[in-house]
Amino acid sequence: MNAIYLASGSPRRREILENLGFTVRRLPADIDETPKEGEAAVEYVRRMACEKNQAVVAQWFAVLTADTTVADGAVILGKPESEADAVNMLERLSGRTHQVLTAVCVYWRGVCHDVVQTSEVRFKTLTAEEIAAYVASGEPMDKAGAYGIQGLGGVFVEHLQGSFTGVMGLPVYETAQLLKSLGLEAPPFA
């Protein structure tokens, strides 16, 4: 299968694409990921994926980027800035349903094409001890919303409506369909 350029440092996104049969070549895409004042989660995540794409597009001809964020209503929960921030995020999500949005952007033949996948995730009610132990594990510190569904944080997920891989950081179905719609290689069963 063809190689694909991934402008993301996420090992989860790389693994998902490799599992689909792609040879993944990583590109750095360092951008400011601060939400704009009043920016809705869907606009934010789409802007992040596109800005990552544009940061590397001058160097490459076909680039895939993605960005994932957690939203509690209109509040965007990015990566925690501190352990206290992670605790606050997990307390906020405890016993509630939130949204996880992942935007995928592919620059192809001079045009950016994107898709946004949204999942609904409900957490069980968390105890202070569970939150403290999870934060102490270090896992929440580099993840939007302060948890990773594919790791220890998965034990908090009571219900998921949407895409497990989307919550991980790259929705497989939507990514394959986007690539296929552009005439790029995708798994033969996509």
Asked about 67 being catalytic, the answer comes back as yes
Instruction: Tell me, rounded to whole angstroms, the distance of Cα 12 from its chain centroid.
Output: 9
Question: Which of 30, 67, 72, 114 is labelled catalytic?
Answer: 67
> Would you state the structure tokens that stand for residue 13, as one six-digit string?
């996104």
First to last CA, the chain: 14
Phi, psi of 143 (to 5 degrees): -130, 135
> How far apart are alpha carbons 102 and 52 in whole angstroms?
13
DSSP-derived secondary structure letter, 143: S
Instruction: Tell me, rounded to whole angstroms, the distance of Cα 138 from its chain centroid.
Output: 18
Q: Hey, which residues are catalytic here?
A: 67
